[in-house]
Amino acid sequence: MLVFIAKRLLWMIPSLFAVSFLAFVLIQLPPGDYVTTYIATLAASNEIVDQNTAAQLRERFGLGDPMLVQYFKWIWGILSRGDFGISFEWQQPVSDLIWERMALTLVLALSTLIATWAIALPIGVYSAVRKYSIGDYFFTAFTFFGLAVPSFLLALVLMYVAAVEFGQDVGGLFSPEYENAAWSFAKMGDLFSHLWLPVIILAVSSTASLIRVMRANMLDELPKPYVTTARAKGLSEFRLLMKYPMMIALNPFISTIAWLLPNLISGSVVVAIVLNLPTAAPLLLQALMAQDMYLAGAFVLLICALTLIGSLISDILLALVDPRIRLE
């Protein structure tokens, strides 16, 4: 097991290099560069950038260098001194910008994950055991509805209702008084009192598909001989369900942990923008649109690292949970 983990960790290094290079190339692919976009953004409000200033910005950011040179300068900075470069737009070190955002993103992602599983698992088991019951139909209908409604629309509708009908503060993860405050228990409490809305919105769509997966897996397992045997030996129905079919049915859940993290970040972009959440997603999108490549590159790199770590975790968990899987 340890050898396996060590091997996997070693493999992550070249993967990260490949991914970071690809990300860098992709960010550079659109025509123009940061300065073009900067001028275009200002021109959108009919604001004019001094022509000399524009030329000078290009020179200062080294945008004239060939892409490979720019890439190696960047990656060398990260490797040698943990320096992710400077965000063009903000004139701030990238590392100042990303960590708090990434932390809030993880909080949101994990909360959503827990909420999704807490809803999907019991309902999935229930509708498999009570197949074609009224409850099964009810949940099925409900979850299809959840799957069909785009989450940004749900967010907009909920925001509209909250803002216009109830005069509530909507958007953001903190009340104004906590927004820039230092971390404290009160701030944590404030965070959780705001977190439920985005969590519900994000959980709705993924819950639906997970319920179907769980139901199908359980239905596969339930008629198997070992279940009948266990039942014949007098095991209580609940223990029986939990001990064997449920464990096996969990397999797809665990093996998708790797995608969950990046999915929750990229899948929540629109919702995060609509709800004005201070997570990584809006900043990443902004950075991509502004071609602020070091900032965008750092985010993409981190998300890729999360994916790799996630897939390692799911492999380890699978080995622990599913007796059929062996690492050797």
| Stretch in the footprint of another protein (CB under 8 A) among 125-133, 165-173, 193-201, 302-310 | 165-173
Q: Is 67 in contact with 25 (CB distance < 8 Å)? A: yes
Q: For another protein, which is the closer residue by CB, 273 or 309?
A: 273
| Stretch in the footprint of another protein (CB under 8 A) among 12-20, 83-91, 257-265, 304-312 | 83-91
| Stretch in the footprint of another protein (CB under 8 A) among 199-207, 208-216, 220-228, 286-294 | 286-294
Q: For another protein, which is the closer residue by CB, 96 or 237?
A: 96
Residues 39-78 that bind another protein (CB under 8 A): 39-42, 44-53, 55-56, 59-60
Residue of the chain from 167, 223, 225, 234 that contacts another protein (CB under 8 A): 167
How many residues in the chain? 328
Residues 263-282 that bind another protein (CB under 8 A): 272-276, 278, 282
Residue of the chain from 295, 303, 306, 308 that contacts another protein (CB under 8 A): 295
Other beta carbons less than 10 A from residue 6's beta carbon: 10
Sequence-distant (≥ 6) Cβ neighbours of residue 214 within 8 angstroms: 120, 121, 123, 124, 125, 128, 249, 253
Q: For another protein, which is the closer residue by CB, 106 or 129?
A: 106
Under the binding rule (CB under 8 A), the answer on residue 175 touching another protein is no
Q: What is the CA radius of gyration of the chain?
A: 24
Instruction: Please give the structure tokens belonging to residue 264.
Output: 């929750």
- Dihedral sign for Cα atoms in the order 305, 284, 94, 102: negative
| Stretch in the footprint of another protein (CB under 8 A) among 110-118, 119-127, 172-180, 243-251 | 172-180
Residue of the chain from 29, 66, 80, 91 that contacts another protein (CB under 8 A): 91
Q: Which long-range contacts (CB under 8 A, 24 or more apart) does 135-143 make?
A: 139/211, 140/211, 143/207, 143/208, 143/211, 143/212
Whole-number Å distance between alpha carbons of 85 and 289: 18
> CA–CA distance from 56 to each of 52, 86, 291 (Å)?
6, 17, 17
* φ, ψ dihedrals at 172, nearest 5°: 85, 170
Under the binding rule (CB under 8 A), the answer on residue 177 touching another protein is no
- List residues near another protein by CB under 8 A: 30-33, 36-42, 44-53, 55-56, 59-60, 83, 86-87, 89-93, 96-97, 100-101, 156, 159-160, 163-164, 167, 170-172, 174, 176, 179-180, 272-276, 278, 282-283, 286, 289-291, 295
